[in-house]
Amino acid sequence: MRDALSKNRKVIIILAIIIGAGLSFYVFNALVAGGGYPPFCSGYPPSGNCHANYSYTFTIYVNYSGPWSLTFRGFHNSELAEVNSEDNYTGGFYQGNGSTGITETLSGDDYYFLTACAEAQKMDNSNSTLTLTVTGSNSTALPFGIVTYCGGVAPDGTPPPTFRSSNSQI
């Protein structure tokens, strides 16, 4: 009989530990961490605060009457202030002649920005203007000129401020 009571006490202690751990997880997620995962959050973005992936399709426009090349890097889950080569990114290289638009869809966790960086180069020595547009635009009229532009979107789809844009000549 005493052996059975000892086993019952052990079972009760183990159950108390498991229930206590579960209750601690619940309190931490509900009160401290602010939710994030059901049932501790109130729906998915843009109106809710549950974690979710989101996607955005960037259209990169090259407006130029001559030959050009374009390098694209799309960063998933980036911080707005800094994009570096260690971030998770998608890339591509395009060449063309005349104006065109290229679409790239990025996706990531809704706690981060999706960022598109593009660099376009005129492939001739004309003084015509090449304009590169991502979430804003940048232009050059320099022969063989190069323009870059980086911009992004926030999880609710609104564009945050531009954080990098430049132009140069080779």
- Distance, in Å, from the CA atom of 119 to the CA atom of 106, rounded to the nearest integer, reads 18
Q: What pLDDT is attached to residue 159? A: 59
Q: What pLDDT is attached to residue 98? A: 94
Using left for φ > 0, alpha for ψ between -120 and 50, and beta otherwise, residue 77 falls in left
Confidence of residue 84 (pLDDT cuts 50, 70, 90): low
Highest mean predicted confidence (pLDDT) among 24-38, 73-87, 110-124? 110-124
What does pLDDT average to over the chain?
76
Q: What pLDDT is attached to residue 81? A: 45
Q: What share of the chain is helix, strand, coil (3-state, %, to 5)?
A: 20, 45, 35
Q: What pLDDT is attached to residue 32? A: 47
Q: What pLDDT is attached to residue 52? A: 74
Whether the predicted pLDDT of 112 surpasses 80: no
Confidence of residue 130 (pLDDT cuts 50, 70, 90): very high
Would the CA dihedral through 155, 160, 162, 164 be positive or negative? Answer: negative
- Domain map of the chain by residue range? 53-169
Q: For 134-153, what is each residue's pLDDT tens digit?
A: 988 999 999 999 999 988 88
- Enter the pTM of the model: 0.67
Q: From 64, 68, 62, select the one nearest 122 (Cα to Cα).
A: 68
Q: Give the up-direction half-sphere exposure of residue 61: CA atoms within 13 A in the CB hemisphere.
A: 11
